[in-house]
Amino acid sequence: MTRSILPAIFVTLAACTTPGAGSSAGICNAEAAQGHVGHDASAAMGAAILRDSGAGTLRWGPPNSAWTMDYREDRVNVRYDQAMKITEITCG
């Protein structure tokens, strides 16, 4: 699998990783997930970040990309770099 299609996979996975959907989704606590910064961006890591942050939704931020500025208290945002390393975890 080439790195050029990985961001598309993560976007697809992000749409599927909504464990709180249909119920009262959890409030994001990015501080609890900071230990994942520097790890490889993967579906398994995304699941761990969701679990640790308590968020109901995960949003991946590929390198050099923009995303909407709407704020959702139940969403954790995970940015990663060209090497597929997680660089930032925030809420919103």
Q: What is the pTM of this model?
A: 0.73
CA distance 21 to 84: 27
Residue type for position 70: D
Answer whether 36's CB lies under 8 Å from 49's CB: yes
CA distances from 91 to 1, 8, 19, 53, 83 (A): 30, 21, 16, 9, 23
Q: Which domains does the chain show, CATH number per domain?
A: 6-91 (3.30.10.10)
Query: Radius of gyration over alpha carbons of the chain, in Å?
Result: 12
Q: In tens digits, what is the pLDDT along the chain, a chain of 92 residues?
A: 445 545 544 544 444 444 444 334 699 999 999 999 999 999 999 999 999 999 999 999 999 999 888 999 999 999 999 999 999 999 99
